[in-house]
Structure formats: C-alpha cells, structure tokens
Amino acid sequence: MSQQDYRPIHHGYSPGRPALGRIGASAVQDLAISELATRKLSSETGVRIWRAVKESLSEEKIREIAVEFRRIHGKFPTVASQEPVPTMEHLSWSTIDSAGRSGRHGLPPGQSLSKIIAPLRDLSEASIIEAARVYHAQHGRLPNSTSTEELPNQPGITWSIVDGAGRRGRRGLAQSRTLSVILAPLREEVGATPRGPRIGTLFKPALSESAILEAGREYFLRNGLLPDHHSKGEVPGMPDDSWGAINQAGQDGYRGLAQGRTLAKILAPLRAELNLFSAQLTKEMVLDAARKFCELHGKLPTSLSEEPVPGLSDESWRKIAGCAYYGRRGLAKEPLHEILQPLRDEFGLSGTVTEEMIISAAKEYLRLYGRFPTQLSTEPVPGMPKESWNGLQDIGWRGARGLKAGRTLSKILKPIRDEWRAERERAARRGRGA
C-alpha cells in the first residue's frame, strides 16, 4: 500500500466508505479494528485511531468501577492510584481524571475523578449511627472525635474524619452536625454519657455558672471587655483555669456544667446586665475622643492605652479596639489604627519612620529599663515622644510610614538583641576564665 493510502485513515475517511462521523460508534470500532488488523499502520497512526474509538465513559460507570475497586483494595481510587481499573485495564485512574477535567470520552468538562466519586464518599447520619451501634457492640462504648478506628461500613473513614466533616458541613452532612450531636439519640438508647473530660481535667474542681459570671464581671472591670474562648488573660478567682478550658467544659458537658453551655451562653446575662448590646458607638465618637486624647497626652491612643477615654467614661481603648476589630456596637469592621488615620495627618504623626530610628530608641530603652521593648511595652519611646511601641509594631506589620511590610518590632530589633546576647555570653566566659 502506498503512503498516499495511509492519509485517508489518518483523517477518518477511506475511499469508497462513508465518513466516520456518519456511522454508528460500533461500526466505527469495527472499521478501525479491521483497518488495524489488515494494514501495517505506524504505531502513531494506530494510537490515534484507537483513541478516536475508545469506549465512552459515564459518571455512573466510573462510580461502579470505583465501588469495585474499593471492594478489592479497601479504599476508593485517587488520581495517583497505580492499581488497575477493574474491567478497564487499558485505562488508568489518571487518564479517567484527565478525561473528566477536559470533557473527553463522553464526560462533561470539569468533572475530576474526585468530584465524580464524591457521592460515594458522602455520609448519612443514619449510616453513622448504624456504624456507631456496631462499634458499641464491639468495644462497649460509643466512639468520639478522637477515635482512630474506621467505620465498619465505610473503609478509610475514621470517626475523627466524620466529626470534622460534620463541623464543616462536608461529605453530605449539615454544618455543625458534629459526631457528638449525631450520636445523641443513640447515646440515650444505649444509656451512655457524653464524652468525659480530657486528660488533665480529671481532678479539676467542678465549675458553676455563677462563679464563671463573677469571673467574667471581674475580667470586664480589668480589661473593658468580656472574655471569649480565645482570651488569654487570667481567669479571676480561677488561676488554674483558662477561658478556653471553661468553654470546652461547657461545650462537652463536664465539670458540673450542662452540655452545650458554652462560655458565650453562660456570659449572655452579664452582657445584657452591662448593656453591651445597646451602647452604640460611631466612628465620629471614636475620632473625637482620640483627638482629645492626643491633645492631652501628645500621642494617639492604641488598644494598649490605659488612660481614660475622654468623653466616654464607661469605655476603654481596649474595649473600643475590640468592637472596631469585630464590627460590633455600630462600628464597621475596621481596626482602630485605620479609624485614627485622619488624625495622624491632622497632628503631623504620619512622618517617615526608619528602622535606624527604632533601633536607636530601643538601645536607649534598654539603658533605661534593662530590657528590650516589645509591642506590649507601655513606657515612652525615647526620642520619639509621639510614638508608642505598639504603634511602631503596627506600622511595621502593615508596611506604613517608610517601613517595609512584615518588619515587626521583633524582627527589627533581632540584630541588636542577638548582639547583646552574644556580648553577655562573652562576658560570662571571661568571668569564668578569671
């Protein structure tokens, strides 16, 4: 056969035969196989023809072979799976994934292998409860979010995965349907109690909501805002506890607290008592108070400022900064330093700051106080009376007023801190040598 005879095959047309697009798929396959069997085509041409007539795929068919794959290997396939595709050994899982993404072989575009078999991975609360019932029969207890065993009816799925999916609303579960919430009916059925305290809390004293309310009131008087489960400050009257631990105890229902009584729910009456819901703030009120503050003290306030808020006797700068950051009490979500930006221009506080200026001030601070400053330091900045250490930290982090973004106070002072530490070590070695 001449070279010219090969060309029609490459273009899907053969002299004396209808175009491939006008005949059925089975006829196309028979034609191609016949051509391959009777002609000595190049390997490249053969691959092209085979790809043109390769059997079409469907999402249902891929799910069927994925189920078979799990039956054989105990897990669902992924794009990286090297094991053969059941009943379709000429394909690979990466080929199927690529076909789905690009919309080839009958698949709609944008359907990766993971998306196609996602329904097989979905969980239902009924199947979780049934698996937990089997788990209880085997272990004598119900599973919890730390249980590492796999679900009997879901190979590759652990109880911690179920809990995480429920918290985030994934794998077909509604958001916030944690494992503890899903198993609540089964817990009543088998007479089990909710998960007990974590290690380290077994011997901690019981908590009462009245004591937590009193601690929250004292915390508010000290800091100007109520605590939440992220608060790092000391719990007044409970030095061995933290706000996060109290929140967890109420959420899980141990140490004498009812399950579901989180810190926010326990402190709700105190929030109403202190009238934190109705005391509204405006940006103009904050700017007016900050302007008076600057006239009195020669500097703008920060969230760490302990001085009173002029004109707002029941407020504190820490409290105002918290409301601004979270967008509460009528303020938009805007950090305090951004609210006060117009005042920096008004009072000429927007001048350029250099790292050399900060290092020089830190050296003088070290001479005066015997330690390096941090963003929490409330003492004046030597040579920069209108600045604060917290403010310098902020402009370094944001990259404002001539500083590069990310140049926090800690990073700026690291060279002189290392130099100071090395000098102390050298002095100590000289002392030991003497």
26-34 average pLDDT score: 50
Return the axis-axis angle of helices 409-433 and 389-398, rounded to nearest 10°. 120
Residue 429: pLDDT above 60? Answer: yes
Residue 423 and residue 361 share a domain: yes
Domain boundary among 308, 329, 346: 346
Whether residue 14 lies inside any domain: the answer is yes
DSSP assignments along 215-272, one per residue: HHHHHHHHHSS---TT--S--TT-TT--HHHHHHHHHHT-TTPPTT--HHHHTHHHHH
Residue 398 and residue 387 share a domain: yes
- pLDDT per residue over 202-221, tens digit each? 456 788 899 999 998 888 88
Residue 429 and residue 362 share a domain: yes
What is the Cα–Cα distance from 83 to 128, expressed in whole angstroms?
29
Whether residue 390 lies inside any domain: the answer is yes
Q: Is 37 exposed, middle or buried (0-12, 13-18, 19+ CB in 10 A)?
A: exposed
Entry pTM: 0.34
What is the Cα–Cα distance from 346 to 416, expressed in whole angstroms?
34
pLDDT of residue 204: 67
pLDDT of residue 434: 57
Residues spanned by the domain of 390: 355-433
**Which has the higher per-residue pLDDT, 198 or 243?**
243
**Which has the higher per-residue pLDDT, 346 or 373?**
373
Whether residue 151 lies inside any domain: the answer is yes
Whether residue 202 lies inside any domain: the answer is no
Residue 386: pLDDT above 70? Answer: yes
Q: Is 156 helix (H, G, I), strand (E, B) or coil?
A: strand
**Which has the higher per-residue pLDDT, 256 or 199?**
256
Residue 359: pLDDT above 90? Answer: yes
Quickly count: other Cβ atoms within 10 Å of residue 95's Cβ: 18
Domain boundary among 159, 190, 221: 190
pLDDT of residue 20: 42
Whether residue 22 lies inside any domain: the answer is yes
Give the Å distances, CA to CA, from 371 to 256, 301, 357, 384: 44, 24, 18, 18
Residue 366 and residue 403 share a domain: yes
Residue 49 and residue 64 share a domain: no
Q: Who's near 102: CB < 8 A, 6+ residues apart?
A: 109
Quickly count: other Cβ atoms within 10 Å of residue 100's Cβ: 24
Residue 401 and residue 428 share a domain: yes
128-149 average pLDDT score: 81
Residue 344: pLDDT above 50? Answer: yes
Domain boundary among 224, 250, 273: 273
pLDDT of residue 364: 92
Q: How confident is the model at residue 313 (pLDDT cuts 50, 70, 90)?
A: confident
Where do we find the tokens 């305090």?
336
pLDDT of residue 49: 42
Work out how many domains the chain is built from and give that number.
6
Residue 338 and residue 292 share a domain: yes
153-165 average pLDDT score: 78
Q: How confident is the model at residue 275 (pLDDT cuts 50, 70, 90)?
A: low
Whether residue 198 lies inside any domain: the answer is no
Residue 364 and residue 323 share a domain: no
Quickly count: other Cβ atoms within 10 Å of residue 352's Cβ: 9
**What's the mean pLDDT when you consider all of the chain?**
77
What is the Cα–Cα distance from 333 to 162, expressed in whole angstroms?
34
Residue 127 and residue 114 share a domain: no
Whether residue 9 lies inside any domain: the answer is yes
Q: Is 176 exposed, middle or buried (0-12, 13-18, 19+ CB in 10 A)?
A: exposed
First to last CA, the chain: 100
- pLDDT per residue over 74-98, tens digit each? 778 888 888 888 888 778 888 888 8
Residue 399 and residue 374 share a domain: yes
